[in-house]
Amino acid sequence: MNGIVSIIKPPGMTSHDVVSFIRKCTGIKRVGHTGTLDPGAVGVLPICIGKATKVADLITSQQKQYRAELKLGIITDTQDSDGKVLDIRKVSISKDALADVIESFKGRIEQVPPMYSAVKVQGQKLYELARKGIEIKREPRQIEIKDIRIIDIDDKNDTVLFDVTCSKGTYIRTLCFDIGKKLGCGAHMSFLLRTKSGMFDMEKSITLEQFKQRIENESINSILIPVDKIFEHHPQVVVTPIIEKKVLNGMQIPLNAIESKEHLKEGIQCRIYNAKGDFLCLSQIIKKPDHILYLKMVKSFF
């Protein structure tokens, strides 16, 4: 079994718990997730199975979309509602001022990873230190908030519901904390739903119960997304059996040995298939000192 399935992670489970569930259902050890979701968060979590684990890093690096709730006036040690309350402040902010501050976070910004995170510093995970009551200096990281839009402002409960599209490595709870800090009243994240991860969204995702049912009735293959779907925007190249053997041996293939190569240029990455339609690898066209173009394997899937 090889492919990608997008799971709707339920609350209370870690991303690793979901991986363990998939392994138990399938009996397959090569299973990996594509971007950690906190236990309290829910939503889209693409899972790579078998050879598809080779593209886990690629999916992880793609942009994400979330719907989050910001709770104003309360600061917690974890920057979300699961943490210990550190401070409670009065909230007195106009909707216009709130909108202006939230809008100011759009674009490339620096964000300091929270202590309660899996980021490693000198070989230790930050959350392990945080649980011991140890706080250390963390270097800021550059992230990008590609879009952020307010959905609803609840004056009665001092909450703000908003949608955000962001780059890899963005902590939404830290975003909420930083917004609260800039407003002066403090804040934490009280709800988080990941609505999209790369090409995967809620409509393309299933629950763990649905996954288990499909395993039991042997219909899982009908919803597994083949790994080459991730690269569908790259041109396709079909090779002859003779060239296929060279590809399988890791050899670089002269471009003039490929038919229908008119659309291929230096620097382009392309999908390589054999005559049977099996996806072999992702290759890139390079130019050697002899000025001849070659197909060089980037990642194999055979």
pLDDT of 116 higher than 90: no
Q: What is the CA radius of gyration of the chain?
A: 23
96 CB-contact burial (10 Å; exposed 0-12 / middle 13-18 / buried 19+): exposed
In sequence order, what are the beta bridge partners of 152? 161
For residues 65-83, b (16+ Cβ closer than 10 Å) or e, as one string?
A: bbbbbbbbbbbbbbbbbbb
CA–CA gap between residue 119 and residue 143 (Å, rounded) = 15
3 state SS for 78-139: CCECCCCEEEECCCCCCHHHHHHHHHCCCEEEEECCCCCCCCEECCEEHHHHHHCCCCCCCC
Q: What is the pLDDT of residue 302?
A: 87
Question: Phi and psi dihedrals of 245, rounded to 5?
Answer: -60, -40
More confident residue, 251 or 35: 251
Which percentage of the chain shows pLDDT scores above 90?
A: 78
Q: What is the pLDDT confidence band of residue 221, given thresholds at 50, 70 and 90? A: confident
Q: What is the pLDDT of residue 141?
A: 93
What value does the mean pLDDT of the chain take? 92
Q: What is the pLDDT of residue 289?
A: 87
Average pLDDT over residues 156-172: 96
Q: What is the pLDDT of residue 290?
A: 84
Q: What is the pLDDT of residue 257?
A: 87
pLDDT of 135 higher than 90: no
More confident residue, 138 or 184: 184
pLDDT of 123 higher than 80: no
Q: What is the pLDDT of residue 138?
A: 85
CA–CA gap between residue 296 and residue 285 (Å, rounded) = 6
Residue 179's alpha-carbon distances to 12, 73, 102, 125, 148, in angstroms, are: 26, 11, 6, 25, 12
Average pLDDT over residues 126-153: 89
More confident residue, 17 or 288: 17
Residues marked active site are found at 38
Q: What is the pLDDT confidence band of residue 120, given thresholds at 50, 70 and 90? A: confident
Which of 157-166, 210-219, 256-265: highest mean pLDDT?
Answer: 157-166
Question: Phi and psi dihedrals of 139, rounded to 5?
Answer: -80, 140
pLDDT of 260 higher than 80: no
- The domains found in the chain, sorted by start residue, are 3-62+199-228 (3.30.2350.10), 64-197 (3.30.2350.10), 234-300 (2.30.130.10)
Token pair, residue 216, equals 């039991």
pLDDT of 70 higher than 80: yes
Q: What is the pLDDT confidence band of residue 259, given thresholds at 50, 70 and 90? A: confident
Q: What is the pLDDT of residue 15?
A: 93
Average pLDDT over residues 10-22: 94
